[in-house]
Amino acid sequence: MTAPPATLLPASASASRTLTRCRGLVRPALTAAVERLHPYPGEMAAFSFGWCEVGGGPAVRPGGGKGVRQALAVLGAEAAGAPGAAAIPGAVAVELVHAFSLLHDDIMDGDETRRRRATVWKAYGTGPAVLAGDALFALAVQTLAESPGPHGGAAIRHLSGALGDLVRGQAEDLLFESRPWTGPDAVRTAEYRAMAEAKTGALLGCAAALGAVLAGAPEPVVTALDRAGRHLGVAFQAVDDLLGMWGDPEVTGKPVHGDLRRRKKTLPALAALAADGPAARELAALLTADPGTADPGTSDAAVRRAAELVERAGGRATTLAEAHHHLNAARACLASVPLAPAAAGELLGLMPFLVDRAL
Amino acid sequence: MTAPPATLLPASASASRTLTRCRGLVRPALTAAVERLHPYPGEMAAFSFGWCEVGGGPAVRPGGGKGVRQALAVLGAEAAGAPGAAAIPGAVAVELVHAFSLLHDDIMDGDETRRRRATVWKAYGTGPAVLAGDALFALAVQTLAESPGPHGGAAIRHLSGALGDLVRGQAEDLLFESRPWTGPDAVRTAEYRAMAEAKTGALLGCAAALGAVLAGAPEPVVTALDRAGRHLGVAFQAVDDLLGMWGDPEVTGKPVHGDLRRRKKTLPALAALAADGPAARELAALLTADPGTADPGTSDAAVRRAAELVERAGGRATTLAEAHHHLNAARACLASVPLAPAAAGELLGLMPFLVDRAL
């Protein structure tokens, strides 16, 4: 059974169909991989995928991510003219790496909920969550290392490069927390973009590229897919920042203005501060207020005011423009090499869905 | 310059010379690898190797491990008839994996000191230490994935298998903590042995095997070296448990009877309990005493008494016999395949040094 051409469906329906098809293709191998884990990290991994509750019982409300990375891997193989099944070891590996990175990032960031459930460290404890992340990481490498076919070595090199970038991006993000909002050591928007590309884009690019690598695609195709994924990552992070500031908590599952309240460096706030002008200066004063003062910049009123000022100083518009710029750059990467038209169409259909999400 | 034949030197001098030679061979590549890290996890990694203090200044008392795993990798290549340099990417990878596992294990176990210095999580915080471990893990995979030569794929498969075992062993060790000392759910000594083989033996076996893999050795040689390392791991863990119970704190850097005080499951204690008899029963009563009672089994007197009872019930003798049994099994593995005599001699010379350490 083949899906109808993407162009005949509304964008979001077409993208959902692509995601569902790819999840269906990859799920048996992903499940089989997770079942290879020791039962203890295995349960934590299954919990993080939304497959079970604490204790291992069936999930009350089965959840989990949309499976963007596995879809990029499958479409990468198809775009290179191979069956999507060629990408399966790569698709499993990138989903496992994504799960590992969420698990460890939630520990580093102290986040207690994700997708409306407790995070793994909150549900099982920090030590076990460190272990579960390590187990997912090792399983990702093992899955790709043991994949049959002549392209395993190149695939592992791609994945290990992305892993290095991902960790480097997370290191930058952690360091941003302790850097000032203003002055010569302030985080510049270019640095933020580089962090987002490494932390979010490297794995998205790796996913699409891995599919092509496993399909035996020529180097220019692999590189174009990798670059497209990296641009997509920057766009994705920009939108994530917008949602963290103005998204509906009912939809995002995150508290309103949560990033501002925690004084997390985000692109809208950094872009607003970089704009200069009275709104930017008032925003800087709010964000740098001593937490010990009467209005420490974290009260509801101060946080609402900060969000207003970010918008007034152009932070929202700049961030949205940034997202669209990188989305277009991703499209241009795809257009730069010969790809199988149906898969390229699905890739193009998926991109705005990921970026526009709830805006 | 070649080292004199191992047999002409006292065992420990010969082993030290081997370790020094291998560290010298591997150190430039290990340093170059660590320098590829982002400066933040890079500093934490260098701190964990004993190369610097917090902040990055030179180490006041340069330290670090003996480099057992890199030596096994170098000797594995030499035993297979290749120059030790053939093993360098594998030697670097196993040292990085070892450093990663120590970093994350110290978080899981809550250990605050290692080698007489603060552990990384204690010095830098838990989140950064999780990140530093991840960075070392990714770097290990990348180092091996990018290694030149025709055997990189096989090497990565070996390493990823060992990573899986290592995590599985750590999961078992964590679960042992919540299992009872007595009754049908008590940890059996066979389970403990399997845990030690996975947690400690898999990486030692992988180290020796990787050297041979990178040297292009035939499968029986690779398997024999892997098995030898696994036996060595069980012996090593047994001795570690003995040192944790009766070792001189001045030498081990650990508090006397520390494992008993924390009621950690160790081979001497499990073997003593399995022996039955009056000493075993008194020991069981002490170890299972409610922490809320007047003598919770963790007072100095109770812990001293527990150590006496472990010895009286035969736990010390059984553990020592276990260590020697696995040491002999490791020797038998080496004798089962044709190896280059000089390297085989160095391997044989290294083993008792590792196991007998401070007994």
Hey, are the CB atoms on A130 and B145 less than 8 Å from each other? Answer: no
Site of tokens 């199988």: A340
Which of A108, A131, A170 shows the shortest C-beta gap to B171? Answer: A131
**With contact defined as beta carbons under 8 Å apart, do A227 and A333 qualify?**
yes
**Does pLDDT of B248 surpass 90?**
no
Q: For B67-116, write each residue's pLDDT tens digit.
A: 999 999 999 999 999 999 999 999 999 999 999 999 999 999 898 988 88
Q: For B176-229, write each residue's pLDDT tens digit.
A: 999 999 999 999 999 999 999 999 999 999 999 999 999 999 999 999 999 999
CA distances from A138 to A36, A88, A128, A301, B148 (A): 11, 17, 15, 46, 22
Give the pLDDT of residue A56.
Answer: 93
Q: If you measure CA to CA, which chain A residue comes closest to B37?
A: A168
Q: How many angstroms separate the CA atoms of A213 and B288, rounded?
A: 56
Q: For A270-288, write each residue's pLDDT tens digit.
A: 999 999 899 999 999 999 8
Across chain A, the runs of DSSP E, i.e. the strands, are 113-114, 117-118
Residue-range domains of chain B with CATH? 10-356 (1.10.600.10)
Give the pLDDT of residue B192.
Answer: 96
B139 contact residues in A (CB cutoff 8 A)? 164
The residue among B36, B38, B102 with the most chain A CBs within 10 A of its CB, best to mutate, is B38
Please check whether residue A76 touches B, CB under 8 A. Answer: no
**Does pLDDT of A4 surpass 60?**
no
**With contact defined as beta carbons under 8 Å apart, do B232 and B330 qualify?**
yes
Give the pLDDT of residue A3.
Answer: 42
The residue among B106, B141, B143 with the most chain A CBs within 10 A of its CB, best to mutate, is B141
Angle CA(B314)–CA(B320)–CA(B325) in degrees, nearest 5?
Answer: 120
Site of tokens 């009123």: A301
Q: How many angstroms separate the CA atoms of A244 and A256, rounded?
A: 7
Angle CA(B129)–CA(B134)–CA(B135) in degrees, nearest 5?
Answer: 95
Of residues B65 and B139, more confidently modeled: B139
Phi-psi category of residue A167: left, alpha or beta, with phi > 0 → left and psi -120 to 50 → alpha: alpha
Distance from CA of B26 to the nearest CA of A (A): 21
Identify which of A40, A22, A130 has the alpha carbon closest to the alpha carbon of residue B134. A130
Distance from CA of A142 to the nearest CA of B (A): 5
Range 126-145 of A in CB contact (< 8 A) with B: 126-128, 130-131, 133-135, 137-139, 141-142, 145
Of residues B156 and B295, more confidently modeled: B156
Q: Give this complex's ipTM.
A: 0.93
Give the pLDDT of residue B292.
Answer: 61
Give the pLDDT band (50/70/90) at residue A2: very low
Q: For A202-258, write each residue's pLDDT tens digit.
A: 999 999 999 999 999 999 999 999 999 999 999 999 999 998 888 877 777 677 787
Distance from CA of A248 to the nearest CA of B (A): 29
**With contact defined as beta carbons under 8 Å apart, do B50 and B62 qualify?**
yes
The residue among A124, A168, A172 with the most chain B CBs within 10 A of its CB, best to mutate, is A168
Give the pLDDT of residue A355.
Answer: 76
Q: How many angstroms separate the CA atoms of A57 and A60, rounded?
A: 9
Hey, are the CB atoms on B167 and A135 less than 8 Å from each other? Answer: yes
Identify which of A129, A130, A128, A157 has the alpha carbon closest to the alpha carbon of residue A141. A157
B36 contact residues in A (CB cutoff 8 A)? 164
Give the pLDDT of residue B3.
Answer: 41
Give the pLDDT of residue A183.
Answer: 92
Q: For A144-187, write each residue's pLDDT tens digit.
A: 999 988 898 999 999 999 999 999 999 999 999 999 999 999 99
Q: What share of chain B has pLDDT > 90, as a percent? A: 76
Give the pLDDT band (50/70/90) at residue B257: confident
